[in-house]
Structure 1
Amino acid sequence: MMSQNTQQLMLFCTAVVLFVTACLYGQQNVKVLSDGLNHMVQTTANMEGRLNTTLHISQPEHYSGAEVLHTVRQMTGTTIRVEVDGTAYVMDPLLNRTVTIPVQLVASYRPEFIRSDTGEVLKIAFWKEASIP
């Protein structure tokens, strides 16, 4: 028969091994969940324009007039329509070099993204915000 001290030492060692194993298992689970969340964030970011999110931002984004002009140029040649203050514009310098858009470069514009039921961007509308002198 084993002595009482030997049995207690074996139980203590078993408890320590189980505790360390549980800690390592928990640490591995946290790492797997963290990697999964990071991958999901990256995938969601890559699907912009094809994914409709329900996240509402309390402060809407603001675009400067220069950013609005850049967006209009970038969207030319795509199926996405761009409107500025309710008027649709297409700016293709290869077809017409004299096309201008009445945008104030230093003004602030609020974007509105119109999406289809599948989340595809159909139209981007920019609305000039009133400036406070």
Structure 2
Amino acid sequence: MSRNTQQLMLFCTAVVLFVTACLYGQWNIRILNEALNERVKTNAAMEGRVHTTLLTDGLVAYTGAEVLHTVRQMTGTGVRVEVDGHEYVINPLEHRSAMIPVELYRNYRVEYNRSASGELLKLSFWKEVERQ
């Protein structure tokens, strides 16, 4: 066999392998897309019976303004909010001038207390100690 014929056969083999790999990748993407669509439909059909939990790698610091906003927004949700060991339930529509002893520019760390099913029961905010 001549050298040109061998190179032509190698080139044709490479083209066939490349096209096969592209088609196989496209087939895998189609299968994964169908599986994801089916999972979305299944989760939507669960009607709120799925509880997710938030897992973070490190401690998240909140400013006092975020803590104040959270206390006011969580009223009426059934989730208790505690700031430095004191529980607050404030309805902003009834008590617009209610005070919460939060320092707006200090940092607070949060603890999430959850039930066994993952439902949020209580948020506890604790003022971080300043390092000198």
Q: TM-score, normalised by structure 2?
A: 0.70
C-alpha distance in structure 2 between counterparts of 1:26 and 1:93, whole Å: 55
Q: How does 1:1-133 map to 2 (within 5 A)?
A: 13=12, 16-26=15-25, 29=28, 36=36, 50-52=51-53, 55-57=55-57, 59-133=58-132
Structural RMSD (CA): 3.5
- For structure 1, the residue ranges without an aligned partner over 5 or more in a row are none
Instruction: Single out whichever of 72-81 and 92-101 deviates more from structure 2.
Output: 92-101
Residue 10 of structure 1, CA deviation: 6.5
SS of 1:70 mapped into structure 2: helix
Matches of 2:91 and 2:17, distance apart in 1: 69
Q: For residues 31 and 112 of structure 1, do their structure 2 counterparts lie closer, same or farther at Cα, with a shift above 3 Å needed?
A: farther
Aligned length: 119
C-alpha distance in 1, partners of 2:25/2:82? 52
| Alpha-carbon distance, 1:29 to partner | 3.1
Give aligned-pair identity as a percent.
Answer: 55
Residue 17 of structure 2 aligns with an amino acid whose one-letter code is L
Please give the alpha-carbon distance, in whole angstroms, between the structure 1 residues aligned to 2:14 and 2:93.
Answer: 76
TM-score, normalising length: structure 1: 0.69
| C-alpha separation in 2, matches of 1:22 and 1:101 | 63
Any runs of at least 4 consecutive aligned residues in structure 1 with deviations exceeding 4 A, and if so which? 7-12, 30-36
Task: Provide structure 2 residue ranges, at least 5 long, that are not aligned to the other structure.
Answer: none
